[in-house]
Each structure stands twice: as structure tokens, then as C-alpha cells.
Amino acid sequence: MTIRFDQRVAVVTGAGAGLGREHALGLAQRGARVVVNDFGGGVDGAGGSAGPATETVRLILEAGGEAFAHAADVTKPDQVQDMVTQTMKRWGRVDILVNNAGILRDRTFAKMTSEDFAAVVAVHLQGSANCSLAVWPHMKEANYGRIVMTSSSSGIYGNFGQANYGAAKMGVVGLMNVLHIEGAKNNIRVNTIAPGAATRMTQDLLPPGVIELMSPKTVTPGLLFLVSEDAPLRVILCATAGGFARTMIYETEGVWLGEEDCTPENVAALFPQISDPNGQHVYESGSPQVAKFVGKAAAGKGVKLG
């Protein structure tokens, strides 16, 4: 099976450099028409320039592809809407959205300001929501859409000095979960990539020798799969240095405690059983998870449901 994107239109945010540029180039190489979005600011979000996005477009055009640049700030809904409006006027459709734009303001939590926290969340999480909201009606009308969020091991597992970044990167997983449910009937598939790559955001954090191994090019194949015709559903795909793995959020079977036994002491005593991975389950939505314990409670109290 060859993955192609002929006649598809893709919007890639943060595509002026690093991962976003590789994603845009990869999509264009396989036939997609690409909207290259980049605000062109610094790693911390300051400033702004059309240069990075224009350079990515130049590379795509030189290779025979189709693309145009848009410098929308993803934290500004009106600018994002203008980008999507221009895309619809030019190509009449939006099939793919890659939410890749991001900034860093790393500090220990004790030294982090509320402004630093809000700024990072605004780009990564609110920016992903703004862009997804702008393309959503067009994807619903077309009964087709592929959206990818960009998470990180910092969000899934944590990383020192990145409370703002980690919170935002786990937040996009929650956004994916809900959009997956709401978009299913219109064939809108929503997934998440959790990349590890040497980019301008990470190069100062990586030791010598590792940078060469962690090329953004080693991540893009995973991204292209996630936005393909046969894309999976609600997947967190980790991609680093050519390695790919899937992160899944499991819940153990747990225990149920009756009213007389429902004490913190019993929770502590039964914690090994509560943590037992045997019978753990992946839930597709929140309702079955709640129903599990409601069912246990009903059975324990002799209540017949339904």
C-alpha cells in the first residue's frame, strides 16, 4: 500500500522549521496541497516573521508541489479563520490539519510566572482548539477529515522544568479524545503524535551525538500515516529517532467498597489490588468507565439496573 494525498489539502501549523517543515514537505511530496502556517516568532513566542513559512513554501514549489504561506498566530481565532477562509477560496476544501505550532518557556514551577504558563498553553492547547474549530465545519460538510494533535513525552510522562508545556501537551490528548467521539459520524479521524526530535526548541536540551540521531525526518512517516486515508482512530503514536510505539491509557479493574467499608484505610489496604493490571481496560469514552463502577455498586447493593 502506497500512502498518497493527491487532491487533498493540508494545513500544517508551525511549518516554518523543524517538525512542521518536514511534515509539510512530506505531505507535498506525496501529492497534497499544503497551507504552510507559521507565525515566525522566537522559541518563546516573541517577535514574528513571514520568512520561515515563505522558505518552506519555496522548498515545496521548487520540488513541484503546491503551497502557500499564512502567518496566522494560532492563538488568535480571527487570524486562524482568515487562514481557513483563504484556503477554501483557493482550493475549496480542507482535508487535513496538523496542529504542530508550539513555543517553550521552560522554568522550574517555583520560578514560573502565570504569564509563562498561560502563553505556552495558549499556543499548544488553545491554538490546537482554534485551528480544529476553524476547519471542523468544512470537514463535517465533506464527511472527511484527518486531524493530528502534537503531544510530547513531557506531557504524557513529565519532564523537569516543563509544567506549562507538559500540561498543554497532555491537554491536547484530552482534546483528541473528545473530537474523536464527536467526529466519528462524519469520518473525521483524530489522532496524536508524540515526537522526539532535534529542533530549535529542543537542540539546547540534547547532549552531543543525540541531535544527529533525532532528525525530524524520522518522525514525519508516523505523521503521514496518522493523516492517511486509512488512518487509525484515537491513537497516541510516539515517534523518535526512527522508533515508533503506541501509548495507551489503561484503567485497572479496581475494587468496589460498600458504605461501611468505604474508608481511606481500606483504600490504602487494598491499593495493591486496585493497582493490579490484570483485567485492565482501554476505554473509548468516559461513559463506560463510569458505568463500570455504577454496575459494581448496583450488584453490591442488589439493585437491578435497566
**Which residues are identified as catalytic?**
165
Report how far residue 65's alpha carbon sits from residue 70's, in angstroms, rounded to the nearest whole number.
Answer: 17
**What is the dihedral sign for C-alpha 58, 199, 22, 229?**
negative
Alpha-carbon gap, residue 239 to 80, rounded angstroms: 28
Q: Position 140: which residue type?
A: K
The C-alpha cell at 301 is 447493593
Q: How many residues does the chain have?
A: 306
- The candidate with the shortest Cα–Cα distance to 119, out of 77, 168, 158, is 168
Mark residue 107 as left, alpha or beta (left: phi above 0; alpha: psi -120 to 50; beta: remaining): beta
Say how far apart CA 262 and CA 8 lie, in whole Å.
55
